[in-house]
Amino acid sequence: MSFLRKIFGLGPKVDHHELIANGAILIDVRTPAEFSAGNAKGSKNIPLDTIGNKVKKIEQLNKPIVLCCRSGMRSGQATVILKRHGIEAYNGGPWNKFS
């Protein structure tokens, strides 16, 4: 796995839709304004700049987490943060592929 794939949480191919169908939570890490302009049905908005403060809340969900954003960069960063805290997290990439 390349260095960039690893640091941005882009591990082996995972079927994110299947994860969500099996109970994973979809978290959109874009800003509230971006989220309001359009979002995937059922997603929760936790902006990247606040995700570190929400780790305990996310842990309490006790479910895998799929993260999304506009392009996959911010969701990759959020994936790394959550994984550091032992949370099963996946970078889902762009939010609109979940619409």
Sign of the dihedral through C-alpha 69, 76, 14, 55 = negative
The DSSP result for the chain, as a single string, is --HHHHHTT--S---HHHHHHTTPEEEE-S-HHHHHH---TT-EE--HHHHGGGHHHHHHH-S-EEEEESSSHHHHHHHHHHHHTT--EEEEEEGGGG-
pLDDT band at 6 (very low <50, low <70, confident <90, very high): low
This prediction has a pTM of 0.87
pLDDT digits (tens, 9 = 90+) for 32-68: 999 999 999 999 999 999 999 999 999 999 999 999 9
